[in-house]
């Protein structure tokens, strides 16, 4: 779920049946753990791709075995160049996960810095930065990414750049909101009175309290990044051939949907599973870190 950067109206925690509460947390935790499990498995697959994949995803072409159905030698079948789809999906995990991971790291880092500066120092800087953020957030994310890719050209570097531009404002907003809500607390003033430097306050008191919403947002946007890369590749604007990414395997395979559906089913499931895992993880994190938020 998207974390809303509204000023959340804090509702008093109403006590209903204690059993009810405990039960809810428990089952939610299970979902969170399931999500963690799924993501860990996928991350491991992505990292160890060269060890897991039985074939080379690009060079192991086999022109006499085109579009073969799944079999014992080719778990997911072959594509229109005879390449093993299982290997391509494994390597695709590596590519897609890497791209999304780096994108989120960059967006979060820059976003945090922007949010901190904006929220803490306020004033003109805050005004300017937030105008920029508002402006950037007015563009529907995928459309914006597509326009940027059109200007920059298709390459892995540019996908990361385009998506980072799209997602950074959202992190900036989040952190700023968090900073603002904490800044208002009285104890910050008392620290200031006691002579604490700004930087110290920022990093020791404010930032740690923003980690939870940040982490949650990062998992959510990781999922968005994966879907965005897949969409861009599906449109032919993403990872260029012949390197596999989940999105561009779907792009290749769509004309074979009727006679060789395995080409599109497996990357589709891979994307779905990953995003599902991330959503579950995000849900679990939200319950664990900050049950008040829901």
- Interface of this chain with other proteins, residues 74 to 93, rule: CB under 8 A: 80-81
Region for residue 277 given its phi and psi (left: phi exceeds 0; alpha: psi -120 to 50; beta: otherwise)? alpha
Residues 6+ apart with CB under 8 A from 12: none
Residue 181 binds other proteins (CB under 8 A): no
Binding mask 111-140 for other proteins (x = CB under 8 A): --------------------xx-xxx-xxx
Counting residues that bind other proteins (by CB under 8 A) gives: 74
Subset of 234-253 contacting other proteins (CB under 8 A): 234-237, 240-242, 250
User: Hey, how many other C-beta atoms are within 10 angstroms of the C-beta on 290?
Assistant: 13
- Using CB under 8 A as the binding rule, whether residue 255 contacts other proteins is answered as yes
Residue number with CB closer to other proteins (32 or 115): 32
From the list 121, 144, 156, 183, which residue makes contact with other proteins (rule: CB under 8 A)?
144
CB 136 within 8 A of CB 182: no
Q: Which residues contact 221 (CB under 8 A, 6 or more apart)?
A: 104, 107, 167, 170, 171
Residue 78 β-bridge partners: 84
Of 212-231, which residues contact other proteins (CB under 8 A)?
A: 223, 227, 230-231
Q: Do the Cβ atoms of 238 and 162 come closer than 8 Å?
A: no
Residue choice 98, 102, 156, 261 for contact with other proteins (CB under 8 A): 261
Q: How far is the CB of 15 from other proteins (least distance, A)?
A: 9
């Amino acid at each position: 779920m998207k974390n809303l950067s509204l000023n959340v109206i804090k509702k008093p925690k109403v006590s209903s049946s204690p059993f009810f509460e405990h039960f809810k947390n428990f089952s939610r935790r299970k979902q969170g753990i399931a999500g963690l499990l799924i993501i860990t498995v996928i991350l491991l697959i992505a990292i160890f791709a060269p060890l897991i994949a039985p074939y080379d995803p690009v060079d192991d072409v086999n022109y006499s075995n085109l579009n073969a159905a799944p079999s014992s030698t080719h778990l997911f079948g072959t594509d229109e160049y005879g390449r093993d789809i299982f290997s391509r999906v494994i390597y695709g995990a590596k590519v897609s996960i890497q791209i999304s991971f780096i994108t989120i790291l960059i967006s979060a880092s820059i976003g945090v810095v922007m949010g901190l500066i904006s929220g803490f120092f306020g004033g003109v800087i805050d005004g300017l930065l937030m105008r920029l953020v508002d402006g950037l957030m007015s563009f529907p994310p995928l459309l914006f990414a597509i326009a940027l890719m059109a200007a920059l050209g298709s390459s892995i570097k540019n996908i990361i750049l385009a998506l980072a531009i799209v997602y950074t404002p959202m992190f900036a907003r989040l952190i700023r909101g968090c900073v603002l809500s904490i800044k208002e607390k009285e104890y910050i003033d008392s620290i200031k009175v006691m002579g604490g430097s700004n930087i110290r306050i920022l990093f020791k008191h404010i930032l740690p309290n923003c980690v939870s919403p940040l982490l949650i947002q990062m998992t959510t946007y990781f999922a968005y990044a994966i879907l965005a890369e897949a969409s861009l590749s599906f449109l032919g604007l993403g990872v260029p051939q012949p390197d596999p990414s989940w999105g561009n395997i779907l792009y290749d395979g769509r004309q074979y949907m009727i006679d060789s559906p395995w080409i599109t089913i497996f990357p589709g499931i891979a994307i779905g599973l990953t995003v599902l895992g991330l959503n579950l993880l995000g849900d679990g994190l939200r319950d664990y870190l900050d049950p008040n938020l829901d």
